[in-house]
Structures are given as C-alpha cells and as structure tokens.
C-alpha cells in the first residue's frame, strides 16, 4: 500500500513539474513574442527632409530623382518636401522644422537652403545638391571631403564652353547676365561669367536682382545694350525664364542657358547643362550611403562629369526667328531639338 502511495505521489510530482515547466515555457515564449512585436513596432520608416529654394522644372526633377532612388531601397520612407519660395527666412524655418522632427537625412537643394540646413542641424547628416561652389558657400572647406555632418553634389556648369558655343553662332561682342545678388551660387557664377568674357574679349554687362519678380525689369534694362543673354544655374532667374524669353524675343536677341530642363517650354536658343533628374538620382544614391551609416565627412563632393549627364537643347524655331543658322553637326550632337 505504501509503495503504491509513493508511486502515485511520484507520478503527481512529475506531472506537476511538467505542467510548471510547460507553463513557464509558454509564458516565456509569450513574453519573447510580445518583445519582438514591440521591437518591430518601434522601428519607424526612414524620414528624409528635402528643402528646395524655389519650384521650377530642374529642381523639381532633381527632387523627383532623389525620392525615386530612396523609395526603391526604402519603400516605406517618409519624405517631407518643402519649398522656401526664394525666401531665406522660410529656408531657416524649414531647417528648424527638420531639426525638431529629427529627420534621418536633411537635403538642401540649392545653396541658400543647404546653408540654412547646415547652420541649424549638427547631429544629423546634411546633404547639399545643385550647389555650384560648396567651398565658396561655406558648406565644406574642400571638395575632396565632407565637412562634419555635411557633404553633397555640385552642379558647377561649363560656363566657358557655353559662351564659346554661342560665340560660334553669332557675332558676340556684349553679353548680358541677370543674376541674384543675394545668392552665393549666383554671385559666383556671375564672377566666373565675367572672367570668361574677359578671356574671350567679350564685354560683360551684369545686373543683380533680389527675387524673381525683378527679373523681367532687370532684363529690359540691359536688353538694348547687349547681343545676347546668358542664364546660369541661378534658381531665382531660372524660375522666371519665361520673363527672360519675353524680353529677349522682343529685343530680337538670343538666350543661352545652363539649364536644359527649364528651357523646354521654348524660346531659349541654346541650353547646355546637366540633366537634373540624373543629378537627383546621383543625389539619391548619396542619401542611401548616409542612411546606411556612411560618415558625411568621408564623402567628397560629387561632380556630374559623365558625358551622359550633359544635355544640349537647341530651339530651331527660335534660331529661325533670329536668323541664326545652326550647323548640322551641332544639331546632330543635341539630345533635344525643338522645331
């Protein structure tokens, strides 16, 4: 009887122990599952803040390129797309917004917005794009490397080649240039344009503006004194390219531009410059590097040097109206010919 009692007792103890162990295992498993769920819920999608100085076709295409490349790798990425509308106070407010939101990467399209981001944000990667001279703009001390949390992509344009191309088609003695006198990028390009004109024996007439509303009046003021207009990658002026076209057509003089994308509506004789959509894709690839942990200081400024990055647009209708003959070999070299 005693043996039977002990046998039953042992069975009960084994069953109780098994039940206890099983219960603990289930509880631990449940806790681990809950922990994993909390962990997954805590992983937020990457957030990219993009601030551009103004909206115009080239900068819009650049922005699109960035969004597309990042979205391919991070389908759930969140983009905060902001437009400063040419106002530095707005650019500064956007920078503070990105700082408070703690975006994973802040991108400044054009010099003023990039400067605002670099000044406001020091603990998150800041990337510039479409900045002509990042050293002159104070974003980096050398294009050979980044600066602290800042790096990016330059759109330094071949000014001399653009002006030489125009000079091969017309008797170019005086060149007019409207530029934004409050934007470092535009001022530097105006200086380069004047230097190039000096080298080529061309008289340079420049006039500064502070916003896009002043572009037409500034162009009208010098139209009667020049043989042609040169439009650089000055975002304020490019955003008012239709006003420039109107003035040039009435004066019977051509425009050569560094921005083919914004010249597509017509009225610009020659436009030789970067494909800003491709620049956006290149910028997007740099954003990916930063998201994956690359140190901005280790990334040199990227320049668009591949021939496939350069576009030449020719408006033959404008050429005909101005009585300018476009050589067949130049037409053949153009990526876009408007008739």
The string of DSSP letters for 30-59 reads HHHHHHHHHHHHH-PPPEEEEEESS--HHH
Angstrom distance (rounded) from CA 236 to CA 214: 10
Shared domain check, 262 and 191? yes
Shared domain check, 257 and 197? yes
Shared domain check, 323 and 303? no
For residue 150, report the phi and psi dihedrals to the nearest 5 degrees: -120, 135
Domain that holds residue 262: 159-274+308-338
For residue 183, the model assigns a pLDDT of: 87
Angstrom distance (rounded) from CA 68 to CA 21: 52
Burial of 138 (0-12, 13-18, 19+ CB in 10 A): middle
Shared domain check, 237 and 139? no
Number of domains in the chain: 2
Burial of 101 (0-12, 13-18, 19+ CB in 10 A): middle
What's the alpha-carbon Rg for the chain, to the nearest Å?
Answer: 29
Question: Order of strands, edge to edge, in the sheet holding 174-180?
Answer: 203-209, 174-180, 228-231, 255-257, 270-274, 310-315, 336-338
Shared domain check, 281 and 225? no
Domain for residue 25, yes or no?
A: no
For residue 16, the model assigns a pLDDT of: 44
In this structure, the number of other CB atoms found within 10 A of the CB of residue 180 comes to: 28
For residue 116, the model assigns a pLDDT of: 98
For residue 2, the model assigns a pLDDT of: 41
Domain for residue 134, yes or no?
A: yes
Shared domain check, 174 and 323? yes
Shared domain check, 301 and 246? no
Angstrom distance (rounded) from CA 77 to CA 288: 11
For residue 87, the model assigns a pLDDT of: 93
For residue 29, the model assigns a pLDDT of: 52
For residue 220, the model assigns a pLDDT of: 98
Angstrom distance (rounded) from CA 248 to CA 231: 12
Domain for residue 193, yes or no?
A: yes
Q: Which two tokens stand for residue 296?
A: 């901005």
Shared domain check, 295 and 166? no
Shared domain check, 296 and 147? yes
For residue 277, the model assigns a pLDDT of: 94
Domain for residue 102, yes or no?
A: yes
Q: Which two tokens stand for residue 100?
A: 């408070």
Shared domain check, 243 and 151? no
For residue 39, the model assigns a pLDDT of: 43
The vertex-64 CA angle with 177 and 275, nearest 5°, equals 45
Predicted structure pTM score: 0.76
With a cut of 70, list the residues of the chain below it in pLDDT. 1-43
Shared domain check, 302 and 203? no
Angstrom distance (rounded) from CA 44 to CA 39: 10
For residue 10, the model assigns a pLDDT of: 41
Domain for residue 34, yes or no?
A: no
CATH number at residue 180: 3.40.50.2300
Shared domain check, 204 and 79? no
Domain for residue 24, yes or no?
A: no
Domain for residue 12, yes or no?
A: no
Helix (H/G/I), strand (E/B), else coil: 306 = coil
Q: Which two tokens stand for residue 36?
A: 């994993």
Q: Report the candidate in 281, 279, 283, 284 with the shortest Cα–Cα distance to residue 258.
A: 279
Contact 298, 336 (CB under 8 A): no
Domain for residue 199, yes or no?
A: yes
């Amino acid at each position: 009887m005693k043996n039977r009692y002990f046998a039953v007792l042992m069975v009960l103890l084994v069953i109780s122990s098994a039940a206890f162990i099983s219960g603990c295992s289930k509880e631990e498993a449940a806790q681990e599952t809950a922990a994993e769920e909390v962990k997954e819920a805590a992983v937020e999608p990457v957030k990219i803040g993009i601030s551009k100085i103004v909206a115009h076709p080239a900068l819009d295409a650049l922005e699109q390129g960035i969004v597309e490349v990042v979205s391919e790798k991070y389908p759930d990425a969140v983009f905060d797309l902001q437009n400063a509308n040419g106002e530095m106070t707005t650019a500064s407010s956007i920078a503070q917004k990105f700082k408070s939101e703690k975006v994973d990467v802040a991108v400044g399209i054009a010099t003023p917005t990039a400067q605002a981001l670099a000044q406001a944000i020091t603990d998150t990667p800041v990337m510039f794009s479409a900045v002509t001279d990042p050293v002159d703009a104070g974003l980096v001390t050398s294009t050979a490397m980044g600066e602290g949390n800042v790096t990016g992509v330059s759109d330094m344009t071949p000014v001399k080649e653009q002006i030489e191309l125009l000079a091969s088609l017309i008797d170019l003695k005086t060149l007019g240039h409207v530029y934004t006198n409050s934007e470092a990028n535009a001022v530097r390009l105006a200086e380069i344009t004047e230097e190039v004109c000096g080298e080529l024996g061309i008289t340079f007439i420049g006039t500064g503006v502070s916003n896009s509303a002043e572009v037409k009046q500034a162009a009208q003021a010098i139209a009667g004194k020049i043989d042609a207009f040169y439009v650089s990658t000055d975002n304020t002026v490019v955003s008012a390219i239709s006003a420039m076209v109107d003035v040039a057509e009435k004066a019977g003089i051509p425009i050569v531009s560094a921005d083919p994308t914004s010249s597509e509506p017509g009225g610009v004789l020659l436009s030789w410059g970067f494909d800003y959509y491709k620049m956006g894709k290149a910028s997007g690839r740099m954003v990916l590097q930063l998201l994956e942990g690359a140190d901005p200081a280790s990334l040199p400024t990227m320049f668009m040097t591949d021939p496939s990055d350069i576009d030449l647009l020719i408006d033959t209708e404008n050429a005909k109206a101005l009585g300018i003959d476009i050589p067949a070999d130049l037409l053949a070299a153009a990526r876009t010919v408007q008739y």
